[in-house]
Amino acid sequence: MHNNERGSILNLGPKFISKTIHYQFPSLLSNFFIISFGYLQNESELSLECLDPRETEDLNKIYRVKRRRDYLIGRYLAKVSIAKYLKNIELNQIIVYRGLANQPILSLPSHHTHNQVSIAHSNGYGVTVAYKEDILLGVDVELIDHSKSHFFGEYLEGLNHNLPFSNNIVGLLIFTAKEALVKSIKLGLIFPIHLLRVKDIIMIDNSYFVIKFENFDKFKVICIKIYDVIISIAYQESLGLLEKDLKEFSSSMEEFCNSGLF
């Protein structure tokens, strides 16, 4: 894995998927923490050889085109994230099951243990984070559907803000942050996210947003808005992510998307 002071970035190209990026924070190179983001335009772009037979069976139970595409982008990015760190492992040796709370559960060869992954997808866009199991992380991604964005204004919950976006967009930022946070604590769909109350939301240098929640003082959620896609990453503050790392990550993601994804 190539690492430099701007982070670690690898574009895999169209052989497997429309476009992907894999990023590792420079200050955390000693930790297993790789974020992957990509877009799958249609199912035929992705080789199903990356799937385990049991995952293929799950895929065959999905009939809606949109859900099949989301399943594939999520599974593929999760597998590649893990493989980039572990090395010497085939994608079809990495199996991702669903837990009781709909959380992803990894099945790996016996000599690869203590690893976790968080998965999110929305309309062909996918984001995953692979990490050591001794830390807590979660991700979410949402494609902004402007015809439905008015539904998200309710997530403001009376919160006053000075952000240069409509209440509906800020509400969607909060929604994705909540989704990422409940994934980080492994509660997935079973946690009622309306119980999460926003403590603070700020924008850092027109680069990314930081959202804090009441009763979760040890966690922080960063949100990046690139065109009509919002990516949220929830993590323990003790992880020690530096502001310069987050700015570089935001810049790298924007550069990646400007290169032809949108």
Please give the pLDDT value at position 12.
35
User: Domain for residue 85, yes or no?
Assistant: yes
Q: How far apart are CA 135 and CA 115, in angstroms?
A: 10
Q: Quick one: how far is CA 86 from the chain centroid?
A: 19
Positive or negative CA dihedral for 75, 76, 77, 78?
positive
User: Domain for residue 2, yes or no?
Assistant: no
Note down the domain range covering 198: 8-261
Instruction: Kindly state the tokens that stand for 14.
Output: 């169209």
User: Domain for residue 1, yes or no?
Assistant: no
CATH number of the domain encompassing residue 123: 3.90.470.20
User: Domain for residue 3, yes or no?
Assistant: no
Q: In what order do the strands lie in the sheet with 208-213?
A: 137-143, 229-236, 219-226, 208-213, 198-204
Report the amino acid identity of residue 126: G
Q: How far apart are CA 174 and CA 194, in angstroms?
A: 11
Q: H/E element holding 233? A: strand 229-236
Beta-carbon neighbour count of residue 38 at 10 Å? Answer: 27
The whole model's pTM is what?
A: 0.85
**How many domains, in total, are found in the chain?**
1
Please give the pLDDT value at position 19.
62
Q: Quick one: how far is CA 73 from the chain centroid?
A: 11
Give, for all 262 residues of the chain, the pLDDT tens digit.
333 333 333 333 333 344 677 777 766 555 557 888 888 888 877 777 888 888 888 889 999 999 999 999 999 999 988 888 777 788 888 999 887 777 888 888 877 778 889 999 998 899 998 888 888 899 999 988 877 766 777 777 777 788 888 888 888 999 999 999 999 988 776 777 778 888 889 898 888 899 999 989 999 999 998 888 899 999 988 887 777 878 888 888 887 777 765 5
Instruction: Kindly state the tokens that stand for 136.
Output: 């807590």
